[in-house]
Amino acid sequence: MTYFEEIHRQTGIKHRHGADWQGIDPEFAARLRSQNRFQSGLDIARHTAKVMRADMETYDKDPAQYTQSLGCWHGFIGQQKMISIKKHFGSTNGRYLYLSGWMVAALRSEFGPLPDQSMHEKTSVPALIEELYTFLRQADARELGGLFRDLDKARKAGDEAAAAKAQQAIDNHKSHVVPIIADIDAGFGNAEATYLLAKKMIEAGACALQIENQVSDEKQCGHQDGKVTVPHEDFLQKIRAIRYAFLELGVPEGIIVARTDSLGAGLTKQIAFSREPGDLGDQYNRFLDCEVVEGVGEKGDVLMNRDGLLVRPKRLPSNLFQFRPGTGEDRCVLDCITALQNGADLLWIETEKPHIEQIAGMVDRIREVVPNAKLVYNNSPSFNWTLNFRQQVYDAWEAEGRDLSMFERDQLMSQHYDDSDLAKEADEKIRTFQRDAAKRAGIFHHLITLPTYHTAALSTDNLAKRYFGEEGMLGYVKQVQREEIRQGIACVKHQNMAGSDIGDDHKEAFAGEAALKAGGENNTMNQFAA
């Protein structure tokens, strides 16, 4: 519906109420409707799920059309990210938000900073989803408010061309509301707990939920040690629970991202139930590290029949069972195939380093069974990207027989090598990593889980060093405000960003000439008008 079609609709509503609504302006009502396109989190989830599905279909046709996101831990951070993307690229197409459970634990828990072990309040995750979309919707309202003021200014000046241009911009406005891939960890409990939390996250607006195959009460960050996986059927119960949550809430296009931590997990909490040889339980149990038992075993033994032999799975003092070394990749592939065959839409393989061929080797095997398998991949800050890629180039050059006498492989992080050809080639591989991995390794979506955690720390350190040092106020003005002005950062007008102009528009509509508006001549924000 166009802007003027909405005005016409609101005019009809006013006329039906006659003189009782004489103080209501249909055009302002139309503006409010335009500024609040999404009436609920479910409206957002349904819209963004369709956006993401369309992006997945586009990627299947052309892997160059991969998508990206950055993890955001606050609504303002997510809002500024999307405003920046629109400013620099004109469109939010293919750009999402990622909600990291790690950052929720580290930054949003009432307990204070926590490790990524699902100890934070489960309600903090849907709360952050709702917060992110509140800020994104406010970005829409702010931007449209500016376009409405442009329209009013053009009308007042009698400039029909400018008025037509403003109206066209209003009708073609692109929302800041984009898909969020939200981390539900390992489900915070059993399948019922997963279902209940999934509903809260979807109701808050999430169209894509990422769940991992670790045990929920022993969950660890994917880049730390001590990870414990669950049998396939346990994980599939949670995938089904999430799908039912999407269906119940009327979001059938909702997306499930099935994450496997098997590559780095050497432990399981339980032996899988098996009905017959070769079923999923049996396949899972065959990865267990076992020793053949002579006789009937010893007191307290857990024993299994494997191919007619009595075997004892290796059990740790923690009562966890150990997988055979070197089985991680095979377990990963089976995890992925099984998840896709049981309702998951996308895969997440947590690796220990960013190596395209390692990822592609597993994806090739998965695609032998599920040809359109696609990945979400964590371009993790836990990787030392500089060292990893310099070592990859070093190893490639060594295989080619090139002279490496000037390099020490374990010291390649050193600034001493920054201007070398090896470092330059490594940086180019980092630059093209997402493009190359999307083409070779089936990665549909690239994300960085914790970037804004690190940027907040880095920028605050730089400001503190300058402001509390010799530079004083110049440390803020030179490094922050002057750059905001020159780079056109919208929040240099922080009152406007916080909604003062939106509030003035409302005051004028509600109170007319009696409105006490904030944006007058004496507003110091006017210093930034140029």
Q: What is the pLDDT of residues 445-457, one digit of tens each?
A: 999 999 999 999 9
**Residue 224 pLDDT > 70:** no
**Residue 93 pLDDT > 80:** yes
CB contact burial 211-238 (16+ within 10 A = b; e otherwise): bbbbbbebbbbbbeebbbbbbbbbbbbb
Which of 225 and 55 is assigned the larger pLDDT?
A: 55
**Residue 329 pLDDT > 90:** yes
Q: Side chain identity at 133, as an amino acid letter? A: Y
Q: If pLDDT is split at 50, 70 and 90, which confidence band does 519 have?
A: confident
CB contact burial 127-151 (16+ within 10 A = b; e otherwise): bbbbbbbbbbbbbbbbbbbebbebb
| Per-residue pLDDT, 256 | 98
Q: Mean pLDDT, to the nearest integer, of 261-270?
A: 91
| Per-residue pLDDT, 398 | 97
Q: What is the pLDDT of residues 486-504, one digit of tens each?
A: 999 999 988 888 898 898 8
Q: What is the pLDDT of residues 106-146, one digit of tens each?
A: 999 999 999 888 889 999 999 999 999 999 999 999 999 99
Percent of the chain, pLDDT > 70? 99
Q: Mean pLDDT, to the nearest integer, of 380-393?
A: 96
**Which uninterrupted H or E stretch holds 99?**
strand 95-99
How far is CA 361 from its chain centroid? 25
**Residue 441 pLDDT > 90:** yes
| Per-residue pLDDT, 302 | 87
| Per-residue pLDDT, 483 | 93
**Residue 408 pLDDT > 70:** yes
pLDDT, mean over the chain = 94
| Per-residue pLDDT, 401 | 97
Nearest to 167 by CA among 144, 146, 151: 151
Catalytic, out of 72, 221, 290, 332 = 221
Angstrom distance (rounded) from CA 295 to CA 268: 26
Q: If pLDDT is split at 50, 70 and 90, which confidence band does 467 have?
A: very high
Q: Where are the beta strands (DSSP E) in 261-373?
A: 267-268, 290-292, 304-306, 309-313, 321-322, 346-349
Q: What is the pLDDT of residues 190-215, one digit of tens each?
A: 999 999 999 999 999 999 999 999 98
Examine the residue annotation and report whether 221 is marked as an active-site residue of this protein: yes
Angstrom distance (rounded) from CA 368 to CA 456: 43
Could you tell me where the DSSP H helices lie in 158-267? 160-171, 191-204, 232-248
The answer to whether 320 touches 267, Cβ cutoff 8 Å, is yes
Angstrom distance (rounded) from CA 228 to CA 68: 29
**Residue 26 pLDDT > 90:** yes
pTM over cut 0.85 = yes
Q: Mean pLDDT, to the nearest integer, of 425-434?
A: 98
Angstrom distance (rounded) from CA 250 to CA 37: 19
Provide the 3-class DSSP secondary structure of residue 7.
helix
| Per-residue pLDDT, 195 | 98
The answer to whether 93 touches 471, Cβ cutoff 8 Å, is no
Could you tell me where the DSSP H helices lie in 432-499? 433-440, 451-467, 473-476, 482-487, 494-497
Q: What is the pLDDT of residues 225-249, one digit of tens each?
A: 778 999 999 999 999 999 999 999 9
Q: If pLDDT is split at 50, 70 and 90, which confidence band does 222 have?
A: low
φ and ψ of 348, to 5 deg: -135, 115
Angstrom distance (rounded) from CA 168 to CA 354: 45
**Residue 80 pLDDT > 70:** yes
**Residue 507 pLDDT > 90:** no
Angstrom distance (rounded) from CA 49 to CA 45: 6
| Per-residue pLDDT, 365 | 98
Q: What is the CA radius of gyration of the chain?
A: 28
| Per-residue pLDDT, 283 | 95
Tell me how crowded residue 505 is: count the other CB atoms within 10 A of its CB: 23
Query: Strand pairing partners for 398?
Result: none
| Per-residue pLDDT, 513 | 79
Please report the DSSP string for 114-127 in residue order: --SSS-S-TTHHHH
Q: If pLDDT is split at 50, 70 and 90, which confidence band does 267 have?
A: very high
Angstrom distance (rounded) from CA 98 to CA 183: 8
Look-up: residue for tokens 């599920």?
Answer: 370
**Residue 530 pLDDT > 60:** no
Q: What is the pLDDT of residues 289-298, one digit of tens each?
A: 999 988 777 7
Residue 337 tokens, joined:
């195939």
Q: Mean pLDDT, to the nearest integer, of 382-386?
A: 94
Q: If pLDDT is split at 50, 70 and 90, which confidence band does 218 have?
A: confident
**Residue 306 pLDDT > 90:** no
Angstrom distance (rounded) from CA 499 to CA 506: 11
Q: What is the pLDDT of residues 137-196, one digit of tens each?
A: 999 999 999 999 999 999 999 999 999 999 999 999 999 999 999 999 999 999 999 999
Tell me how crowded residue 414 is: count the other CB atoms within 10 A of its CB: 14
Nearest to 412 by CA among 383, 382, 390, 385: 390
**Residue 263 pLDDT > 80:** yes
| Per-residue pLDDT, 162 | 97
